[in-house]
Structure 1
Amino acid sequence: MAFSKKIHHPQLFLATLTVFAFLYLPLLVLVLFSFNQSRLMVDWEGFTTLWYRILSADSRMLDSLANSLWVAFWTTVASLTIGIPAGVGFSRGIKRAGPLFELLVLLPLLIPEIVLAVAFAAFYGLVRIRLSFLTVVLTHVAFSLSYVILLIRSRMERLDQSLVEAAMDLQASGRVVFFRVILPHLIPAIVSSALMVFTISLDDYVITSFVAGVGNTTLPLQIYSMVKEGITPEINAVCTVLLVVTLMAVLLTHFLQTSTLRLRKALLGFCLAIAVISSPLWWPTLSSSRERRQTLNLFIWSAYLAPDTLKVFEQRFNARVVFDLYDSIEALLAKLQAGNTGYDVVVPSDYAVHIAINRGLLSPIDKDKLPNFEKSLDPQFLNKSFDPRNRYSVPYIWGTTGIGYRKDFIKEPVESWKILWDEKYKNKIVMLDDMRENFGVALKMAGFSLNSREISEIQEAKRLLELQKPLVRAYNSSNFQEILASGDAWLILGWNGQILKVARDNPNIGYSIPQEGTTLFIDNFCIPADAPHKELAHQFINYMLEPDTAAAIANYTGYAVANRAAVPYIAKWLINNRVLFPDTKDLEKCETIEDLGEVLLLYDRYWTEIKSK
């Protein structure tokens, strides 16, 4: 009763609760499902700490977390070192040019992140600075510095000038005035700006994806690359850890602001706390850096390696493998075009190989150094249009795009793309959020090539996609398989490997390659033109072509490998599964996506028009 009397405006109180529920319920769901026994987010199967145990043993994830903490820490230190004197000077010494300087300080906050990312990546490529940990920190400082300057200037405007004048009357030097009068007054602003910079740097993805070098994958980059496989409890677990780190930073900031510690002790405590938090992560890194071994730098999709793949190579060749993950072909091409990346082996898809060859981004493959090339590879994946004589590429993993469907809801045969235009399945259809895949479906259904350059054929495909759009529940390329598993969608356009993952646990999920034909994707090993360790790169590719190595990758990842010599070592249930290994008749109807040059602009414009309706 007493509590109810305090609520003078119950409607406002309810609105406030609604807002807080909207803000924090997703976080609670994230934390809750990090303890879910099921790998899927569709239902709760019981409490477990398995994913945290897996996370604690996942050196890749821990390395990315360590990188994020280090980047955020040094970005914060550098931003404070530059921003504190700049903010003080901005508030005291700049009068006439004040508006101009204020605009210059605000601009980094107003410019879109993608523009800053492209600008810095182009700049580093122009001046031949290799992408590295340093380029990440420098770029983070560039977009974080403004926060420090603005907060320091705002705090300086509330400084009682009589305190400064009194200190100077007592013959205090400018240095003494700064450290004994001004700096203590700035502690709240320093702590607040440090927390803001640390959090923004820790969370950044867009800019980091353009300027991170070899071995500098941060946690956001790692998470985004893993989302290609769907949102799993392991991702939830690492996000929960990141949430805890952020909360600790907030609590530490609150402690520093409310305590009576002097400035030096406060800053020392802050630095010490960060060092203690991250010590389990950076100490092994420092220890391993003392090893003197050859280093192979690999840039690859997530989930394309078996657990022991790299360990065996490292032991056999006395080398160390550092690998980074990318989340899109566009991200890979952007890195290659920036130049001087330091990668020795990259794994682009078919059409990206063609683009990279035309732009001079790849080094020729020396087949004399790859004895397993002729012995192991399946001829049907060689001499493709994107690299006719395989001068620059070695096929690695392949797959198809097709229709995933629910057998318990779809009673008719799934044999044609036309079923995705059937009105009785309205709001039960999910398509990939991919321009070429959607146009490929429409073009194939109309009897054309999915690489059509004819304007009339492209316009017909656009018409078909516009007719289909009212039936589509969502365009989704990240967790479409989970939507199918949950039953929210009955028909999806998706990649066979992803659909197979959920079909393992749910016998009601099927996969079909339509009779009109579909996309065949081939991911390939390539060596960048500026690769620093080309000899070691050839040794690595040849090792990956060994039958037992390729089979271990297929058995673990569930993806098909372009390696005929590996077939006897691949699990029988995979070999006999037409989802993963379609028969020759199905493959004859497939095409690889090609680079269409300027015609692609027309596709892009039509796709924008379709999505905007």
Structure 2
Amino acid sequence: MKSLIRGALLIIIAAAVLMIVNAQLAKSGAQAGGNTLTVYNWGEYIDPDLIKQFEKETGINVIYETFDSNEGMMGKIEQGGTSYDITVPSEYMVEMMRKKDLLIPLDYSKIPNMKNIDPYFEDLPFDPKNKYSIPYFWGTLGIAYNPSLLEGQTFESWDDVWDPSLKQEVVLVDSAREVIGMGLNSLGYSLNSTDPRELREATDKLKTLSPNIKAVIGDEVTQMMMNNEAAVSLIWSGQAADMMSENEDITYVVPEEGSNLWFDNIVIPRTVKNIDGAYKFIDFMLRPEVAAQNADYVGYSTPNLKALDFMDPEVTSDERYYPDEEARGHLEVYKDLGLEMLGFYNELFLEFKMDMK
């Protein structure tokens, strides 16, 4: 009798352990896929209300993580420690990631709202036929400045930033391609130059800008400009829009020599676990009214042509943020220059920053 009781107890215990294991596996599966979607995006790059709306509509729980550089993002995707279902690289990084086989080809039968994207932003060199990526936001790099803090200076040319009257008035974003690119553009060279002579000339010219530079910083650029702590900044168009919404004295311009035309893009990385959820999320974000709300919140330009009908015409007709095709002809998209050349850019940028000290 005791052996029967002991056997029954063992069966009950084994069943309980099996139930616990199954529950843990189910929980793990939900975290890695199923009713969970893990999105890896830039900070403050989506309206949180839209995430809540998506969750309510689909029953999918969104885990939202952020990164502050393309390179940092790609590093985590390569490591594969987290099952990211969606991420948002810039154009040159899409090119790098597809070369490294870190992205899956898109099934457009599951993305009917792709029809809302402006054809101008499709089939670009970094991703022919949009095999791996969908445009999310786009914009320019230029100069934000506050005329009320200046003595009549304007910024039709990059060379205007070198004006001696701007001593300790200029802040730059802490980014190698943008700052070295400013030097290249000011000399009439390509933003994608790989010519060591041109890059050396651009760096040497940037060093002569040192007396005018107040700081080389990250997101703090926006706050400094809004608080009138600096008069001029090298900045992206969306951050300039944030500045202008808080400080009506600030304006924004893209210099006549040209500048960077950039694109951030939605992709599905190889780490995906919830691929059905990823497609639902992409198609949701491409709805015109959703894309319009997101653009209003983020402040950058949307490539969603149908979304423009839901937005303030004063915004969409402002050529500082929605330049026409002729104006875009003076702009240049970053290319993947390869790790070795990117390292060279970073070395020159560090040299420039060290020279300021």
Per-residue CA shift, 1:514-560, capped at 9, x if unaligned?
11111122111000113111122112111111101101111222221
Distance (Å, rounded) in 2 between the aligned partners of 1:479 and 1:435: 17
Matched, 1:436 2:177: yes
Matched, 1:483 2:243: no
Which of 337, 348, 352 is residue 93 of structure 2 equivalent to?
A: 352
Q: Which residue of 2 aligns with 1:531?
A: 272
Matched, 1:462 2:198: no
Distance (Å, rounded) in 2 between the aligned partners of 1:321 and 1:467: 48
Structure 1 residue 564 displacement after superposition: 0.5
Which of 116, 127, 148 is residue 387 of structure 1 equivalent to?
A: 127
User: Given that residues 226 and 246 in structure 2 are in contact (C-alpha distance below 8 angstroms), is that contact kept between their aligned partners in structure 1?
Assistant: no
Q: Which residue of 1 aligns with 2:9?
A: none
Structure 1 residue 296 displacement after superposition: 1.3
User: Given that residues 162 and 209 in structure 2 are in contact (C-alpha distance below 8 angstroms), is that contact kept between their aligned partners in structure 1?
Assistant: yes
Distance (Å, rounded) in 2 between the aligned partners of 1:313 and 1:489: 40
Which of 231, 239, 249 is residue 508 of structure 1 equivalent to?
A: 249
Structure 1 residue 451 displacement after superposition: 0.5
Distance (Å, rounded) in 1 between the aligned partners of 2:300 and 2:346: 30
Q: Which residue of 2 aligns with 1:499?
A: 240
Distance (Å, rounded) in 1 between the aligned partners of 2:308 and 2:197: 43
Distance (Å, rounded) in 2 between the aligned partners of 1:585 and 1:485: 31
Distance (Å, rounded) in 1 between the aligned partners of 2:34 and 2:100: 32
Distance (Å, rounded) in 1 between the aligned partners of 2:231 and 2:105: 45
Structure 1 residue 300 displacement after superposition: 1.0
Paired AA for residue 611 in structure 1: K
Paired AA for residue 612 in structure 1: M
User: Given that residues 558 and 574 in structure 1 are in contact (C-alpha distance below 8 angstroms), is that contact kept between their aligned partners in structure 2?
Assistant: no
Q: Which residue of 1 aligns with 2:261?
A: 520
Structure 1 residue 293 displacement after superposition: 6.1
Distance (Å, rounded) in 1 between the aligned partners of 2:97 and 2:273: 18
User: Given that residues 85 and 274 in structure 2 are in contact (C-alpha distance below 8 angstroms), is that contact kept between their aligned partners in structure 1?
Assistant: yes
Which SS does the other structure have where 1:389 is aligned? Answer: helix
User: Given that residues 88 and 266 in structure 2 are in contact (C-alpha distance below 8 angstroms), is that contact kept between their aligned partners in structure 1?
Assistant: yes
Which of 139, 156, 161 is residue 399 of structure 1 equivalent to?
A: 139
Deviates more, 1:553-562 or 1:576-585: 576-585
User: Given that residues 402 and 513 in structure 1 are in contact (C-alpha distance below 8 angstroms), is that contact kept between their aligned partners in structure 2?
Assistant: yes
Which of 151, 157, 179 is residue 416 of structure 1 equivalent to?
A: 157
Which of 131, 146, 166 is residue 425 of structure 1 equivalent to?
A: 166
Which of 291, 303, 306 is residue 550 of structure 1 equivalent to?
A: 291
User: Given that residues 77 and 271 in structure 2 are in contact (C-alpha distance below 8 angstroms), is that contact kept between their aligned partners in structure 1?
Assistant: no
Paired AA for residue 327 in structure 1: D
Q: Which residue of 2 aligns with 1:377?
A: 117
Provide closer, same or farther for how the CA distance between residues 308 and 606 of structure 1 changes in structure 2, counting only shifts above 3 A. closer
What does residue range 182-581 of structure 1 map to in structure 2 within 5 Å? 294-373=35-114, 375-410=115-150, 411-581=152-322
Which SS does the other structure have where 2:209 is aligned? Answer: helix
Which SS does the other structure have where 1:553 is aligned? Answer: helix
Q: Which residue of 1 aligns with 2:8?
A: none
Per-residue CA shift, 1:91-129, capped at 9, x if unaligned?
xxxxxxxxxxxxxxxxxxxxxxxxxxxxxxxxxxxxxxx
Distance (Å, rounded) in 1 between the aligned partners of 2:336 and 2:210: 26
Structure 1 residue 366 displacement after superposition: 1.2
Deviates more, 1:498-507 or 1:341-350: 498-507
Q: Which residue of 2 aligns with 1:199?
A: none
Paired AA for residue 334 in structure 1: G
Q: Which residue of 2 aligns with 1:591?
A: 332
Per-residue CA shift, 1:565-611, capped at 9, x if unaligned?
10000123322333332333332211222221122232222222221
Per-residue CA shift, 1:39-95, capped at 9, x if unaligned?
xxxxxxxxxxxxxxxxxxxxxxxxxxxxxxxxxxxxxxxxxxxxxxxxxxxxxxxxx
Structure 1 residue 382 displacement after superposition: 1.6
Distance (Å, rounded) in 2 between the aligned partners of 1:605 and 1:310: 39
Paired AA for residue 300 in structure 1: N
Structure 1 residue 487 displacement after superposition: 2.4
TM-score (norm 2): 0.86
Distance (Å, rounded) in 2 between the aligned partners of 1:601 and 1:299: 25
TM-score (norm 1): 0.51
Structure 1 residue 340 displacement after superposition: 4.3
Distance (Å, rounded) in 1 between the aligned partners of 2:219 and 2:47: 21
- Greater C-alpha radius of gyration: 1
Per-residue CA shift, 1:284-341, capped at 9, x if unaligned?
xx9xx99x96211111112222233122222332322221112222221111110142
Which SS does the other structure have where 2:148 is aligned? Answer: coil
Per-residue CA shift, 1:398-423, capped at 9, x if unaligned?
12111000121331332110111111
Paired AA for residue 439 in structure 1: I
Matched, 1:606 2:337: no
Paired AA for residue 566 in structure 1: A
Distance (Å, rounded) in 2 between the aligned partners of 1:368 and 1:400: 31
User: Given that residues 42 and 88 in structure 2 are in contact (C-alpha distance below 8 angstroms), is that contact kept between their aligned partners in structure 1?
Assistant: yes
Greater length-normalized contact order (CA 8 Å, ≥ 6 residues apart): 2
Q: Which residue of 2 aligns with 1:174?
A: none
Structure whose residues are more often helix by fraction: 1
Distance (Å, rounded) in 2 between the aligned partners of 1:355 and 1:404: 30
User: Given that residues 293 and 318 in structure 1 are in contact (C-alpha distance below 8 angstroms), is that contact kept between their aligned partners in structure 2?
Assistant: no
User: Given that residues 401 and 520 in structure 1 are in contact (C-alpha distance below 8 angstroms), is that contact kept between their aligned partners in structure 2?
Assistant: yes
Paired AA for residue 608 in structure 1: L
Q: Which residue of 1 aligns with 2:21?
A: none
